[in-house]
Structure formats: C-alpha cells, structure tokens
Structure 1
C-alpha cells in the first residue's frame, strides 16, 4: 500500500506543479485540463484551462492535485506535505526554493532529531515540512 497526497488549488495548479517538478526534480506525467474531461460541459467555460487532475512523480513519490472551483476551494489546513531529505545541503536548497514568495513558519535549523527541519507555506498555499533527520 502507498499513500499519495492530493492537493487542491484555487486555480494555480499548473503553475504550482511546474514549480514543484523543477524544485523536486520530478516529472509531470498528467496535467489534464477541465476542457478535456468527458463532462466538460458541467464546468464554466472560463474553467477550461484549469486543471482537473495533475500527477507528479519524483523519486518513488507521487503528488497529485487539481484546481477546485471557487465555491469548493478551501485553503490547506491541519496537514503538511513532509519531505524527508537525506542531505542537509539539499534540504536547504529545497526549503529555500519552496519558501520563495511564501511564508516561513519555522526557519530551517537543527533540532534534537534533525540536522535540518523547517516549516513553510509556499506561494501556492501548500504547507511543507522539510526534514533532514540525524542518524539514529
């Protein structure tokens, strides 16, 4: 069994996933706009280019998402996407890239369990934890 986060965006899914693919070194394997969906007539025409489903693969991880309509979109609350990165320098690079134009809730720093740990909300509204654990 595998668990894959599924994110909702307010119309910025495509831009967010292109950013995530670049930052995480992944490949977008699906980016399906509403206009190409079988039930495209159920959505307003201005939603044609918004994303009904996106899938990003990086390493052995999968991240999925879509744009939610304004009446259904709710900002991420009570959950974080956590990245466990083995090298401190890579943790810093990823944290800094995701934090660009976002909000850092906890600066990336050493903790009792990690060489580096930090929390941020990126410019797309996704809450991330970046963790670089110390050896046990």
Structure 2
C-alpha cells in the first residue's frame, strides 16, 4: 500500500521548523543533510556559506508509517512563494493524541477551528502553525 509523505519547502528556516516538529512528535531524524554535504558535480552552482548551511533534505518519522520531509530553498532555486493550497491531515488514534498533537503543533500559530465534535461524527480541528503550514486534526471513534 502506498503512503503519502508530505514534503515541505522553507525559505531558510527548515531546520528550525523540523526541530519544532520533532519536539511535538518525538523521534529522531534518520537523515538530515545540508547543501554543503552534496558531492561536487559539474553544473552545480557554487553555494555561499549561508546557502551551504541550509537543509537539503530532512526526514522525520511521525508515526503509523508516515514520514514528514522537508528542504530549504537556496539562491539557486529561488525564494519559495507560500500559498494556502496545501494542508496536512493527521488521523489520530485517540482523542487524547489528537489534543496533544493539536495543542503542540498550534503553539504560536493560529487556530482556525478548535477541536470539537463535528456533524460527521469525528473529533476535528484546524490551524495554521507558526511556520504558515495548514493542518487538519481528526479522530474518528467509529473508524475500523
């Protein structure tokens, strides 16, 4: 069965964001590589020290087979234009887990829909975290 692993692009604060996500989810980074760690290759631009220290790729397992991945943009790839077209949806295993993750991830962010029972029977909420990422939190007691 395929899984969806969200990939987030940042404008230089990927490491800060992933340290924050790690503080909420726990776990270790199986891989955290910086642009300066890439082997030299013909055609690759010479990076400034600042770009070299940005995150090229990071992974953080976040449970139930899902992996959160991310990267920084650099001067060669250009500035990231953030939009409102992506939300990350988490299906929690319990109401307590939903509350823990919702409260942790929404710290310093904006809650757009507090956790509450919905007309479709789920315990659900939405927020934008302090890095501008949209999240949806769901717990469905009737899910088999």
Deviation at 1:84, TM superposition (A): 0.3
The alignment's TM-score, normalised by the length of structure 2, stands at 0.84
- Give secondary structure in 1 for the equivalent of 2:19: helix
Structure 2 stretches of 5 or more lacking a match?
none
Q: In the aligned structure 2, how far is the partner of 1:82 from the partner of 1:26?
A: 19
Q: In the aligned structure 1, how far is the partner of 2:7 from the partner of 2:83?
A: 11
- Give secondary structure in 2 for the equivalent of 1:27: coil
- Give the number of equivalent residue pairs: 136
The alignment's TM-score, normalised by the length of structure 1, stands at 0.88
Assess if the C-alpha contact under 8 Å between 1:31 and 1:53 holds in 2: yes
Deviation at 1:114, TM superposition (A): 4.2
* 1:16–1:114 Cα change, 3 Å: farther
Within the alignment, does 1:62 sit opposite 2:67 as a pair?
A: yes
Q: In the aligned structure 1, how far is the partner of 2:130 from the partner of 2:112?
A: 13
- Give secondary structure in 1 for the equivalent of 2:124: strand
* 1:7–1:114 Cα change, 3 Å: farther
The aligned counterpart of 1:119 is: 126
Structure with greater strand share of residues:
1
Moved over 4 A (4+): none
Q: In the aligned structure 1, how far is the partner of 2:38 from the partner of 2:121?
A: 44
- Give secondary structure in 2 for the equivalent of 1:112: coil
What do residues 55-101 of structure 1 show as CA deviations (whole Å, max 9, x unaligned)?
11122111111011363312142111111002111111111111111
Higher-Rg member (1/2) = 2
Q: In the aligned structure 1, how far is the partner of 2:68 from the partner of 2:83?
A: 15
- Give secondary structure in 1 for the equivalent of 2:21: helix
Within the alignment, does 1:80 sit opposite 2:87 as a pair?
A: yes
In angstroms, what is the RMSD of aligned CA positions?
A: 1.9
The aligned counterpart of 2:108 is: 101
Within the alignment, does 1:3 sit opposite 2:4 as a pair?
A: yes
